[in-house]
Amino acid sequence: MASESEQALKAATTAPVAVSAPLRNRRVFPPPGIGSKAVAYLVVWVISFVSLFPIYWMIENSLRTSAAADSGVSLLPETLQWSNYATMWNYFSYGMHVFLINSFLVAGLVTLGTVISSALIAYGFARFRFIGRQLFFGVIISTMMIPYAVMMIPQYAMFINFFHWGGGGVLFGYQNLFQFLPQIVPAFFGSPIFIFLLRQFIRGIPIDLDEAAKVDGAGPLRIFWKIILPELRPALAAVAVLTFIGKWNDFLGPLIYLQDQHNWTVELALNGFVGRFGTVNLNLQMAASCISIAPIALIYFVASRQIIQGVTLSGVKG
């Protein structure tokens, strides 16, 4: 006869295990089959084709003759017109390289100012405790709901009538350099959406690292430089790339302030092509468009992983 301990052990091992209600009600989905994968791939291919076809059409028309581009004749290898790019490059009084330099100058300085100011402001809201902190942060975030069209006229009046940035300034052959200031200076006061993104990222960094640095005698700026910034690299890369692309594609801001043709950005040069040609000479207009999107396309393909990583990590850690 088995002992009482052996009987108790046997009863415990053979007893049914109690399963909680959520586990009993949880549905177990089978692994995806070949049919579902094929449908998913088909949807991806269709979306990719719809998204990339305009780029293909633009490149194709940039290599056509003027008559072929206007009539829609299919492109043949013997009809390639690489001279379209040379014609377009020297069409204005200033070469296309001048407009590219202007775009790189404006977009680069705006990116630099946005990254520095947004990171510092986000660090202050994430790590410091002061009266009205939540109120100030709410006010900054609420400014995202104000359309640019509402602020356009007051900003123009302030920059032109109060600061007198409508003209003046000469350097390296550039005239009216002050026209660039309304485009660049506001970036050094932060961007609300990027302040929010970086604040969420910083809040995910353990505050114990800050406390340990304080014990070693580090101040707030040293903590920011040695601890916060290295952890912020993915988010800062996302902010930098998105800001650069956004400013490169900006049309309305430069249109308002950059009146001197020598100060035009690429977007204003493209608008000059459209205003001059209208619906004719599409080959030259498409050649100009190809050149204008080449830098930002290269930047995006190089830094796309950083964009996704920065936005994803900021959302998860916050």
The CATH number given to whatever domain includes residue 137 is 1.10.3720.10
Mean pLDDT is highest, among 110-124, 145-159, 274-288, for: 110-124
Residue 186 within any structural domain of the chain: yes
Which domain, by its residues, includes 220? 93-317
**Half-sphere exposure in the Cβ direction for 134 (13 Å, CA):** 0
Q: Are 270 and 255 in contact (CB under 8 A)?
A: no
pLDDT tens digits, residue range 32-91?
A: 667 778 888 899 999 999 988 988 888 888 887 765 555 555 544 445 677 788 888 888
Residue 35 domain flag? no
What is the tally of structural domains in the chain? Answer: 1
In a domain, 262, yes or no: yes
Above pLDDT 70, what percent of the chain?
80
| pLDDT of the residue at 318 | 42
| pLDDT exceeds cutoff 50 at 317 | no
Collapsing DSSP states into helix, strand and coil, what is residue 176?
Answer: coil
Tens digit of pLDDT for each residue in 148-186? Answer: 888 999 999 999 999 999 888 888 778 889 999 999 999
Residue closest to 265 by CA, chosen among 96, 71, 150: 96
pLDDT digits (tens, 9 = 90+) for 239-248: 998 899 999 9
Helices (H), 30-95: 34-62, 66-71, 83-89
Look at residue 62 and tell me if it is in a domain.
Answer: no
pTM higher than the cut 0.85: no
- Is position 68 within any domain? no
Token pair of 66, please? Answer: 């003027």
DSSP characters for 269-303?
Answer: HHHHHHHHHTTS-HHHHHHHHHHHHHHHHHHHHHH
φ/ψ (deg, to 5) at 171: -165, 130
